[in-house]
């Protein structure tokens, strides 16, 4: 698979993931470009221990964390409006009247629940890919996602 194919296939997934993390369209675009720059630079080091999508999302996650370190802050906890139009991924997974309460509940989750939930909902990764990203199993990813979803539901009820 050449770079153009990788870019075309994974750009939407990477952008959605980064937008869900930083909630700023311009910053998400910048970090997406940084991610693909790192992909080009490091494609020779991809060993195939995980799926290519997991590897690319891992690079995106590291680009986001590097940005936060440069800014001298941790991941923001407050909720913000989703920048996209139409139905959001949260609407499909959390059927509640108050999306704001769901956002706040999501951002109060501890790790790895928050990260697994965001990878599944925003990046639409499979449980197998999420497990690979965390160096764990598909079952672990499913259980962690289910627990995160339950915690969000409990908090907003």
- Specify if 151 maps to a domain: yes
**CATH number of the domain that 69 lies in?**
1.10.1740.10
137, pLDDT greater than 80: yes
- In the chain, % of residues over pLDDT 70: 81
- Specify if 81 maps to a domain: no
Confidence of residue 4 (pLDDT cuts 50, 70, 90): confident
Q: Do 66 and 2 share a structural domain?
A: yes
For residues 44 and 53, the answer to whether their CB atoms sit within 8 Å is no
- Specify if 84 maps to a domain: no
Mind listing the pLDDT tens digit for each residue in 44-66?
A: 888 777 788 888 888 998 899 88
Exposed/middle/buried for residue 4 (C-beta within 10 Å: 0-12, 13-18, 19+):
exposed
Q: Do 98 and 29 share a structural domain?
A: no
Residue 125: domain span: 89-157
Q: Do 93 and 72 share a structural domain?
A: no
**CATH number of the domain that 152 lies in?**
1.10.10.10
Residue ending a domain, among 76, 102, 123, is 76
Question: Token pair for residue 154?
Answer: 């409990």
Q: Do 1 and 71 share a structural domain?
A: yes
- Specify if 20 maps to a domain: yes
- Specify if 59 maps to a domain: yes
Q: Do 107 and 61 share a structural domain?
A: no
Residues in the chain: 157
User: How far is it, in rounded angstroms, from Cα 48 to Cα 50?
Assistant: 5
- Specify if 83 maps to a domain: no
Looking at the structure of the chain, the number of domains it has is: 2
Residue ending a domain, among 31, 54, 76, is 76
Q: Do 70 and 98 share a structural domain?
A: no
Angle at 144 between CA 143 and CA 149, to 5 degrees: 100
Compute the mean pLDDT over every residue in the chain, rounded to the nearest whole number: 79
- Specify if 35 maps to a domain: yes
pLDDT at 27: 93
Residue ending a domain, among 76, 109, 135, is 76
């Amino acid at each position: 698979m050449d770079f153009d194919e990788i870019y075309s296939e994974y750009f939407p997934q990477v952008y959605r993931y980064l937008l869900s993390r930083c909630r700023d369209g311009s910053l998400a675009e910048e970090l997406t470009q940084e991610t693909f720059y790192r992909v080009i630079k490091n494609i020779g080091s991809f060993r195939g221990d995980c799926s290519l999508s997991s590897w690319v999302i891992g690079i995106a996650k590291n680009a986001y964390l590097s940005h936060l370190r440069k800014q001298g802050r941790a991941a923001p906890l407050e909720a913000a409006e989703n920048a996209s139009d139409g139905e959001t991924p949260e609407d499909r997974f959390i059927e509640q009247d108050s999306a704001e309460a769901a956002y706040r509940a999501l951002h109060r989750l501890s790790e790895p629940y928050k990260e697994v939930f965001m990878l599944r909902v925003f990046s639409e990764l499979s449980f197998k890919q999420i497990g690979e990203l965390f160096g764990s199993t598909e079952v672990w990813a499913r259980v962690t996602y289910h627990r995160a979803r339950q915690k969000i539901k409990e908090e907003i009820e």
